[in-house]
Amino acid sequence: MRLAPLAALLLLAAPAMAQETKEIGHVNTALTNLGLTRSHRVVIERFDDPEVQGVSCYISQARTGGLSGMVGLAEDPARFSLSCTATGPVRVAEGARRGERGERVYESDTSLFFKETRVHRFLDEERGVIIYMAWSTKLVDGSPYNAVAVVPIR
């Protein structure tokens, strides 16, 4: 199979991404179809930065319910919140990308095609902090929705 070497190369070229995302919980925000299908909800998930030891991030996102939400065809609203915290000694790996473009550490599909929520990490070594920025790939009036969380490097 010639595809195996190509797939391995693509995996090596991909940015470091959160290995595990864990759903912490959710709240139902609106009942759909008299309760016969999944309700609209806000979901809280946790992910750890693979290049920064001792940091966990929590993202809450609106999820569309109904029949289209159950089968994965719904477009989720581009609404979310982000909070990151030190869960132990914070250590940034030498290989963590520096620079003004940051490094993508999380992504979640929010529609069947072309719309995602992404989280990028930026290092402000002058101030000794790590900045995480969540943003939606859906442009809204020229600007994407976004949120920022800051964690001090101890």
pLDDT of residue 9: 36
Q: Residue ranges of the chain with pLDDT lower than 70? A: 1-19, 32-38, 66-77, 110-114, 139-140
pLDDT tens-place string over residues 26-71? 888 777 666 666 677 888 999 999 999 999 999 998 877 765 655 5
Q: For 45-69, b where at least 16 C-beta lie within 10 A, e where not — what string?
A: bebbbbbbebbbbbbbbbbbbbeeb
Contacts 24+ apart (CB under 8 A), 93-102: 93/51, 93/52, 93/53, 95/16, 95/51, 96/16, 96/51, 96/52, 96/121, 96/123, 97/15, 97/51, 97/121, 98/123, 98/125, 102/133
For 38, the 3-state DSSP assignment is coil
Q: What is the mean pLDDT of the chain?
A: 79
For 23, the 3-state DSSP assignment is strand
pTM of the model: 0.74
- Report DSSP letters for 50-88, one per residue: TTEEEEEEEEEEEE--HHHHHTT-PPPPS-EEEEEEEEE
User: Do residues 136 and 78 lie in contact, with contact meaning Cβ atoms separated by under 8 Å?
Assistant: yes
pLDDT of residue 8: 38
pLDDT of residue 153: 93
pLDDT of residue 74: 63
